[in-house]
Structure 1
Amino acid sequence: MPSAVSSTQGAVAVLRFGRRAAMGSIAVLILVAGFWGSWGTAQYVMLTKGRERGTVEVSRCGARTCSGPFTPLSAGAAARGSVVIEKSVAVKRGQTYAVVVKPGTDDVVRSGPAGVLYSWLPLGGALLLASVVVAGGLRLTRVAWVLAGSGMALLTAAFVAL
């Protein structure tokens, strides 16, 4: 017949496993969401072979987007009277930026080192958020510090590059 002590230890072990599984799943979900959010833009910036590359001189800005003429730099790229770039603190009217055109649209994203770092900002935020879950829920402080350090390094590099 099982004793009360062994049943309590078994229950504690099951609860501990459940907590670790839940927190591990949440941390992985946060990181996957950060990667997915970044990849939507990063794929155009990092995989530029065969894409239209050029520059845009920002001439007009609205509430969410800016626009201006596109000057091609790559073979096969066509000049366009106006393309749209997402408005951010790094995009200013009158400035010229290196960009890549999203296929089939008149939307562009920044290219070069600044564009790569900017496109991975959602992953940097996800790394920071996941570090809190890993530290608090999984009690893995060293892993949490590595995640937080990686997220801060990515966010700081993007801030400096822009």
Structure 2
Amino acid sequence: MPAATSRKRPRKNARTALRFGRLAAMGTVTALILIAGVRGSWGTAQHVMLGKGREQGTMTVTACSEERCTGPYRPVSAGSRARARVTIGEPAAVRKGRTYAVTVKPGSGEVVRSGPAGLLYAWIPLGGALLLASVVVAGGLRLTRAAWVMAGAGLALLTAAFLAL
């Protein structure tokens, strides 16, 4: 009898080890996806969220190419100076002939949209990362409720950004 129980124990230990390995691997993948989403968003979001002390104003879009739009900049904040030409790197977020609230990136002639629309647009990479990570959480970690919450948050963020633009 003792020999029969010793055969089952290694199988149980192996299953436990495989389960732990799967959880560790999928948890790591999920964390990396979310970190990449935050990092992809932070490059623009920092200028919008931490706008205090930065040059803020409006930009009227006069010309657009496939990668950039340009136009004059009018200051709104104290200490900001007018510029004849600034560029914005998100042609999908602006239209020619319209005026947008913007924040100037320090030390450059490049601007990013500010306000609610600019904030939502800056966090689009995180919304995509939440959607992707929800698939990993549901399939790899078997946490369906958490996956639905993540997917819902990502979809809400993307939908809000789409409607704001």
Question: TM-score band (shorter)?
Answer: over 0.9
Given the alignment, which residue of 149, 154, 160 partners 1:151? 154
Give the partner amino acid of 2:68.
T
Aligned to 2:64: 61
Cα distance in 1 between the residues matched to 2:47 and 2:39: 13
Query: Which protein has the larger Cα radius of gyration, Structure 1 or Structure 2?
Result: 2
Please show how residues 30-49 of structure 1 align to structure 2 within 5 Å: 30-49=33-52
Give the partner amino acid of 2:142.
R
Give the partner amino acid of 1:51.
R
What are the ranges of 5 or more consecutive residues in structure 2 without an aligned counterpart? Answer: none
Cα distance in 2 between the residues matched to 1:139 and 1:15: 14
Aligned to 1:106: 109
Cα deviations by residue, 1:30-66 (Å, 9 ceiling, x for unpaired): 0011011111100100111110000011111112000
Give the partner amino acid of 2:47.
Y
Give the match's secondary structure for 2:85: strand
Q: What is the number of equivalent residue pairs in this alignment?
A: 162
Aligned to 1:132: 135
Cα distance in 1 between the residues matched to 2:30 and 2:40: 15
Percent identical residues: 64
Matched, 1:72 2:38: no
Cα distance in 2 between the residues matched to 1:127 and 1:63: 28
Structure 1 outlier segments of 4+, above 2 Å: 87-90
Preserved CA contact (<8 Å) 1:61 1:87? no
Matched, 1:15 2:26: no
Preserved CA contact (<8 Å) 1:64 1:87? yes
TM-score (ref. length: structure 2): 0.96
Cα distance in 1 between the residues matched to 2:65 and 2:153: 34
What are the ranges of 5 or more consecutive residues in structure 1 without an aligned counterpart? Answer: none
Cα distance in 2 between the residues matched to 1:88 and 1:160: 16
Cα distance in 1 between the residues matched to 2:40 and 2:126: 7
TM-score (ref. length: structure 1): 0.97
Matched, 1:96 2:99: yes
Give the partner amino acid of 2:80.
A
Give the partner amino acid of 2:159.
T
Aligned to 2:88: 85
